[in-house]
Structure 1
Amino acid sequence: MTFSDGKVTVQDGLRERALDVLRKLVGRDDAAFHPGQFEAIEALVAHRRRTLVVQRTGWGKSAVYFVASLLLRSQGAGPTLIVSPLLALMRDQVEAAARAGVRAVAINSANRLEWDEVHAALAADAADVVLISPERLTNPSFRAEHLPELLARTGLLVVDEAHCISDWGHDFRPDYRRIAALIGELPASVPVLATTATANARVVADVEEQLGAGVLTLRGPLGRDSLRLGVLRLPDSRSRLAWLLQHLGDLPGSGIIYTLTVSAAEDTARLLADAGYRVLAYTGKTDTAEREEAERLLKGNEVKALVATSALGMGFDKPDLGFVVHLGAPSSPVAYYQQVGRAGRGAAHADVLLLPGAEDRDIWRYFATASMPDSAKARSVLDALAGGPLSTVALESLVELRRTQLDLLLKVLAVDGAVERVGGGWQATGAPWAYDDERYRRIAAARDAEQEAMVEYEETRGCRMEFVTAQLDDDTAAPCGRCDNCAGPWFPRDVDPGLLERAGEQLRHAGVPIEPRAQWPSGMDKLGIPVKGRIAAGELLAEGRALARLTDLGYGGALRELFAASAPDGDVPPGLRPAVVQLLAGWARGDSAAGPWSGAGRPAGVVAMPSATRPRLVDSLARGIASAGQLPYLGALSRTPAARAGQAGGNSAFRLAGVWPAFDVDAGLAAALASLGGAPVLLVDDLVDSRWSLTVAGRLLRLAGAGPVLPLALAQAG
């Protein structure tokens, strides 16, 4: 245990009282503090310190703030305010508090109907702990109506998963930056506790700065004696899925299989379920109620595994989780340590296996986005807000940013004091603001270094636990004696050829839906486009198909290579042609509830999109489909002089404005469409992202006399 400012004096009788509270909380008369736990409690209760605790998962950080909360409450202090980043984590904390006899309530976006009960409990002084999400700190009504009361009564502030405060943390969140301002509003007599299991020296220094002067840092060893780490390199995605099919049942208890993408989680869960395993997918797209049910089933050992993205990450509490498997590596050892920390928290042994993929680097690059957009984008937002408050929807029609990018930028600008959220939208504060270009270059460089460190972890011949904890600047890092490099591989390497073929069939499955756009973006009149509201029925696209997503385990690799910026334009690669035929056959048979050809009827012709970047690829695809389906090739839409190349950036309004004047139906195509008498047509493109190009082109074809327009593309982004 290390201390940032030396030893402190034990208040008379405090250890005995704290130990008594701990034993009542855990229901054991022989319970004792882990090294460092009482020191943290003493710093908070006796000395009202600002304290940072960096301890491994399972060490008992929640015990520190629950014991400290009850001791402070016994001295007449108000309830503890805990800022907690994830709903799953918050649910676990409320349940853990209830088991421990601590009266806990939560305020977050998922329990709005319970807020009145929460405020009633606070008014009656019937709550010992209040949990809030960091996003609540940006909500103007919460800040105006509820936060002042909470701060006035807070007896202890806890910042859980405090690495989120830091630019250097693996899960930086702008909302967390507001906590520094929150701390500044607290009286000096109110102690503050920040906790994390994943903080290297840079993160620790940054968090200390956020907490203010006089921080006591308590840092313990981060090595996990219960975890047995390993890395198994297999040649391809097919082999990794086959290994899971063969050996998942041999892994101890129940656990988590992490994937890098939503599509990989869904595809893997489907394959394992079809093979008889009780598994469920858990991603950012999973409904809240379904997430809660999946968590319950895993905790009750009613499923073998959840196949999850990072949506199931920080704080998920299942002490007996038996294993964590990664299909593809996270982009840093720190993020990896955070996820494997879900296992073995309350068990003597747990297995952790990484199955890295050749596509990992491509996926890291694909998802890599700067912590905030560039200076020009930020300035455009400030300029737009200079005229007065705007809703996010209205602002989106004035700046060329996607909603997710805009939301992130607004949060960053709000933390920097340049904008503020008000009822119904955002407004500029008038405070000076400058883009810190050097800061963001440093962050980008740090992210690149973390990716290289993850590759080093995969390739190291030394102790894996020592490597990971050293990445967290743990000066106690030492060989564990249990990992595959210390003690030899503990996992089988064989893959059954039959299962290899079954996995290959799953990966060769062709076809993901292209959902039609149903609504025009708001504010199009401001961009000179005369549309609003729902898209008219006679102008709508039908549901389409793409061969695969760029992030898919199966065809994703070949498609990412095909659409790489440096890849030349050319015909559809021979390896993808049978897959396109398979896609058409499945669609014709009725591969969804909508039935054959999405219920639109068999196409009577093929039309190509006029590609500015890959004309040969699109022409090859369209003519090949026409030949395979014995359909007439009707030609391509025309590109107009108003067309702009490269519509990849911007939000929906700007993307639509960019492509609205880009296409035309010439006389030859119009005549060909007329000859079909209103029959359906296939509209062929290479890569689908926002779907606005297809929507505009499909509308033109419908207005020119085509029947239902069914989009078909090689790839779908995301």
Structure 2
Amino acid sequence: MDSPTPATAAPTPPPDLRTEAQEALRALTGRADADFHDGQFEAISALVEERRRVLVVQRTGWGKSAVYFLAALLQRRRGAGPALIISPLIALMRDQVSAARRAGVRAEAISSANPTEWADIEEALDADELDVLLVSPERLVNPRFRAEQMPRLISRCGLLVIDEAHCISDWGHDFRPDYRRLRDLVGELGAEVPVLATTATANSRVVADVAEQLGTPGEGAAPVLTLRGSLTRDSLRLGCLTLPDDRARLEYLVRHLDELPGSGIIYTLTVSAAEDLADLLDRPERRVRAYTGRTDAEERAELETALKDNEVKALAATSALGMGFDKPDLGFVVHLGAPSSPVAYYQQVGRAGRATETADVLLLPGREDRAIWEYFATASMPAQADADAVLAELGASSGPVSTPALEARVDVKRSALELLLKVLAVEGAVESVRGGWVSTGASWSYDAPRYENVARARREEQQAMLDYERLRSGDPQQCRMLFLARQLDDDTAVPCGRCDVCAPPWYPTPEAAAPSAAPEAAHPTGAEPAADTSRDAVSRLLDRVGVPVDPRKQWPQGLDRLGITAASGAPLRGNIAPAERVEEGRALARMSDLGWAVPLRGLLRVDEQGHRVDASLTPAIAQRVVEVLADWGWDRRPEAVVGIGSATRPHLVRELASGIARLGRMQDLGDVPTSSDATELFGARNSAFRVAALWDRFVLTPELIEQIDALKGAPVLLVDDEIDTRWTMTLVGRLLRRAGSGPVLPLSLALIS
């Protein structure tokens, strides 16, 4: 058998481009009858023959990757340089490289998953032995890649592809600062280099923004060609079922998961919810596994393969399993909690039913959804004061400053600081170099109107998601697929006739699923009814006792810069002395947990001015405290209880501490008082600044020290309303230990993070 013709060979030209492209399409798909969808060849022709800049907005599964692989192959046959594809996810890269090689396209990827292969890939590029290189947008920030590889890639680039192009736009539902660098990259390419941007989730505002960023330089240049198709998906059967609480939602999933077709994805809004759900649903005969941002790269690849091969019924996943995952026969997508926008929801449900006649999509919204949306919305928006502080510190530094060192100089949490640095780098104010970050000296101003408009758009998207949940049957103009399409400004959509608004619910409803009051004779084997089984399984999850709270073991960097030193004047760095640490603690629940997070959010609420409400314990939460204490399993029972003096919830903390002391017959030592000027701790968000804010906040009175001494080293229970950074417990516990107490056991109602 003859060996395949290399992609860079110059065969006898076929009669026309369409014939050549169709032959390549059939090699790519492995199907002799494959033909182009509407718009695919038009995009390829514009790229190869006209060298245009093209934006393709088409539904998931339409075949956008076929367009750019075939365009890259045809360009190479015509003597062009290799194509550079910017791809957002490692999962997408793995699939794309495999697909490209099937068509004879020599493709490789550079990502965090294959650093040992980078040198070989770079050598292949230098030898002109690659047709396609896939890289993540984060690679564009890497100083070495930017200095050594980017100039060569730009000079030889035959085609630039920006996949999931909605990420370029901060109006997009999944905006990523690193993607904004692509505007600069596009600007560095000559007008003769074709550029393709693709997405399935862009409304008109995002389309206009992306098209503007792709604009071809020079007078008389052809405008960006936008090819936009219908975004409706005939295979999807959409539904939304509102249940009263987490217990009902989880029981529903336990009882009905096996009725969903094939294998699929169950999306959750938080990592802990995904992990809890996987534990609940997993069975030896029906596997369900968790897939989150905490899952390492190697395990992610294994889980993706297991789902593709139908070795698991479902992956309980956060949005970490999103763009790039491709399983054409994915049978269902369920959401335990709604994403914050219909566009993001459309993107996730689009994973299902790409190559099947039908796939089931069910939304199970939760009461906690809005609080989670608000948290993520505020966490992702850079603040002007933070940006000014970062620029001031970098401007005053004589050399690069690492992110940990910068964190000790500005009061910004690590995750928010990393996001802010990316935004400032994209806008040219700072630069990542070997050793850290430096100021470029370029002028920069905070675009407050733009960020306000983005925040307003996010709020509108949240309201639209609530409107989607409230759609009801009876109105001939209402339809779930129609609603989603209109959110994407697709005016070609018509009612689908399949969703639970167009037709009766296709999924079991609680009334239809309720167990009948059948006599015991209905279960001759003595088997437990399914409803009871699901109820018990959910109860074991929701009623489990306590969440461990790991103690802080190291001081944060940079405390000396903030004037915080040991009593001897020595800097505080490295390990916290073992004799001054608290022990592993307990919280009733995480605020992101299923079940108990809802009543805890009600108890630990804030008012309209953002101040914490000082409420009283409810009987249910008080009983929960008793259960946590009874199940703790400490080596030696504590003999005393002390509360942490609170400026915001003094009544609640005192009620909690005194109640435990009375019930457990422990000595009540009162509260560790705060200094006279203690107020709510606004700011002080990262570890170094938090320690500095707390350092002189608490004092031990002579009476309290005398009581501690009288305990002769017995363990002490240290009580607070909530634990967030863990530094309050750490520093108050350190005071108690230095005053002579025995082991300090922290207890709080909620673990915030």
TM bin (shorter chain): over 0.9
Point out the more displaced range, 361-370 or 302-311. Answer: 361-370
Whether 1:568 and 2:574 are equivalent positions in the alignment is no
Point out the more displaced range, 111-120 or 220-229. Answer: 111-120
For residues 581 and 522 of structure 1, the distance between their equivalents in structure 2, rounded to whole angstroms, comes to: 38
For residues 682 and 550 of structure 2, the distance between their equivalents in structure 1, rounded to whole angstroms, comes to: 19
Match of 1:477 in 2: 493
Point out the more displaced range, 264-273 or 498-507. Answer: 498-507
Match of 1:199 in 2: 202
For residues 629 and 371 of structure 1, the distance between their equivalents in structure 2, rounded to whole angstroms, comes to: 44
Match of 2:72 in 1: 69
Compute the displacement of 1:458 (Å).
1.0
Match of 1:618 in 2: 653
Native 8 Å contact 2:379 2:416 kept in 1 = no
Secondary structure at 1:369 match in 2? helix
Compute the displacement of 1:361 (Å).
1.5
Match of 1:14 in 2: 17
Q: Map 1:331-480 onto structure 2 (within 5 A).
A: 331-369=340-378, 371-388=380-397, 389-461=400-472, 462-480=478-496
Native 8 Å contact 2:28 2:99 kept in 1 = no
Whether 1:604 and 2:639 are equivalent positions in the alignment is yes
Secondary structure at 2:378 match in 1? coil
Compute the displacement of 1:116 (Å).
0.9
Aligned residues: 698
Q: Map 1:58-457 onto structure 2 (within 5 A).
A: 58-213=61-216, 214-273=223-282, 277-369=286-378, 371-388=380-397, 389-457=400-468
Please identify runs of 4+ aligned residues in structure 1 that moved more than 6 A.
Answer: none
Match of 1:517 in 2: 552
Match of 2:706 in 1: 671
Match of 1:8 in 2: none
Secondary structure at 1:485 match in 2? coil
Q: Which runs of 5+ in 2 are unaligned?
A: 1-13, 217-222, 473-477, 516-530, 566-571
Point out the more displaced range, 202-211 or 71-80. Answer: 71-80
- 1:102-145 CA distance string (max 9 Å, x none): 22211122322221121122122222211111111111111111
- 1:498-538 CA distance string (max 9 Å, x none): 22354234212231121111111111110011211111111
Point out the more displaced range, 683-692 or 364-373. Answer: 364-373
Match of 1:3 in 2: none
- 1:159-193 CA distance string (max 9 Å, x none): 01000000110001111000000011112111111
Q: Which runs of 5+ in 1 are unaligned?
A: 1-10, 589-596
- 1:357-378 CA distance string (max 9 Å, x none): 1221122123321643221211
- Give the aligned residue type for 1:75: R
For residues 110 and 625 of structure 1, the distance between their equivalents in structure 2, rounded to whole angstroms, comes to: 50
Secondary structure at 1:386 match in 2? helix
- 1:417-461 CA distance string (max 9 Å, x none): 111112111111111111111111111110000011011111123
For residues 492 and 87 of structure 2, the distance between their equivalents in structure 1, rounded to whole angstroms, comes to: 29
Compute the displacement of 1:292 (Å).
1.6
Question: Aligned pair in 2 of structure 1 residues 231, 642: CA closer, same or farther (>3 Å)?
Answer: same
For residues 200 and 115 of structure 2, the distance between their equivalents in structure 1, rounded to whole angstroms, comes to: 30
Question: Aligned pair in 2 of structure 1 residues 548, 140: CA closer, same or farther (>3 Å)?
Answer: same
For residues 520 and 57 of structure 1, the distance between their equivalents in structure 2, rounded to whole angstroms, comes to: 48
What is the TM-score normalised by the length of structure 2? 0.90
Compute the displacement of 1:495 (Å).
4.7
Identity across aligned pairs (percent)? 62
- Give the aligned residue type for 1:348: E
Point out the more displaced range, 23-32 or 330-339. Answer: 23-32
- Give the aligned residue type for 2:497: G
Native 8 Å contact 1:254 1:298 kept in 2 = yes
Select the residue among 615, 618, 630 that pairs with 1:585.
630
Whether 1:712 and 2:715 are equivalent positions in the alignment is no
Native 8 Å contact 1:242 1:495 kept in 2 = no
For residues 309 and 665 of structure 2, the distance between their equivalents in structure 1, rounded to whole angstroms, comes to: 54
- 1:632-665 CA distance string (max 9 Å, x none): 2222212124645315542111111111111122
- 1:30-53 CA distance string (max 9 Å, x none): 110011000010111111111100
For residues 84 and 243 of structure 1, the distance between their equivalents in structure 2, rounded to whole angstroms, comes to: 37
- Give the aligned residue type for 2:443: P
For residues 495 and 82 of structure 1, the distance between their equivalents in structure 2, rounded to whole angstroms, comes to: 52
For residues 580 and 65 of structure 2, the distance between their equivalents in structure 1, rounded to whole angstroms, comes to: 56
Question: Aligned pair in 2 of structure 1 residues 33, 154: CA closer, same or farther (>3 Å)?
Answer: same
Native 8 Å contact 1:647 1:658 kept in 2 = no
For residues 409 and 261 of structure 1, the distance between their equivalents in structure 2, rounded to whole angstroms, comes to: 22
Compute the displacement of 1:274 (Å).
5.9
Secondary structure at 2:227 match in 1? strand
- Give the aligned residue type for 2:307: L
Point out the more displaced range, 108-117 or 90-99. Answer: 90-99
Whether 1:489 and 2:530 are equivalent positions in the alignment is no
- Give the aligned residue type for 1:313: G
For residues 561 and 260 of structure 1, the distance between their equivalents in structure 2, rounded to whole angstroms, comes to: 19
- 1:470-496 CA distance string (max 9 Å, x none): 100001111111111112211111255
Match of 2:729 in 1: 694
Question: Aligned pair in 2 of structure 1 residues 481, 377: CA closer, same or farther (>3 Å)?
Answer: same
For residues 180 and 71 of structure 1, the distance between their equivalents in structure 2, rounded to whole angstroms, comes to: 25
Question: Aligned pair in 2 of structure 1 residues 399, 117: CA closer, same or farther (>3 Å)?
Answer: same
For residues 350 and 368 of structure 2, the distance between their equivalents in structure 1, rounded to whole angstroms, comes to: 24
For residues 200 and 187 of structure 1, the distance between their equivalents in structure 2, rounded to whole angstroms, comes to: 29
Compute the displacement of 1:630 (Å).
2.7
Question: Aligned pair in 2 of structure 1 residues 571, 328: CA closer, same or farther (>3 Å)?
Answer: same
Q: Map 1:46-61 onto structure 2 (within 5 A).
A: 46-61=49-64
Match of 1:627 in 2: 662
Compute the displacement of 1:101 (Å).
3.2
For residues 41 and 508 of structure 1, the distance between their equivalents in structure 2, rounded to whole angstroms, comes to: 57
Match of 2:519 in 1: none
Compute the displacement of 1:683 (Å).
1.1
Question: Aligned pair in 2 of structure 1 residues 678, 96: CA closer, same or farther (>3 Å)?
Answer: farther
Secondary structure at 2:321 match in 1? coil
Secondary structure at 2:55 match in 1? strand
Compute the displacement of 1:317 (Å).
0.7
Select the residue among 517, 526, 550 that pairs with 2:561.
526
For residues 372 and 411 of structure 1, the distance between their equivalents in structure 2, rounded to whole angstroms, comes to: 12
Native 8 Å contact 1:644 1:658 kept in 2 = no
- Give the aligned residue type for 1:678: G
For residues 491 and 318 of structure 2, the distance between their equivalents in structure 1, rounded to whole angstroms, comes to: 31
Point out the more displaced range, 225-234 or 357-366. Answer: 357-366
Secondary structure at 1:710 match in 2? strand
Native 8 Å contact 1:107 1:131 kept in 2 = yes
Question: Aligned pair in 2 of structure 1 residues 495, 280: CA closer, same or farther (>3 Å)?
Answer: farther
Question: Aligned pair in 2 of structure 1 residues 275, 489: CA closer, same or farther (>3 Å)?
Answer: farther
For residues 235 and 631 of structure 2, the distance between their equivalents in structure 1, rounded to whole angstroms, comes to: 47
Question: Aligned pair in 2 of structure 1 residues 225, 553: CA closer, same or farther (>3 Å)?
Answer: same
Match of 2:590 in 1: 549
Compute the displacement of 1:675 (Å).
2.1
Secondary structure at 2:239 match in 1? strand
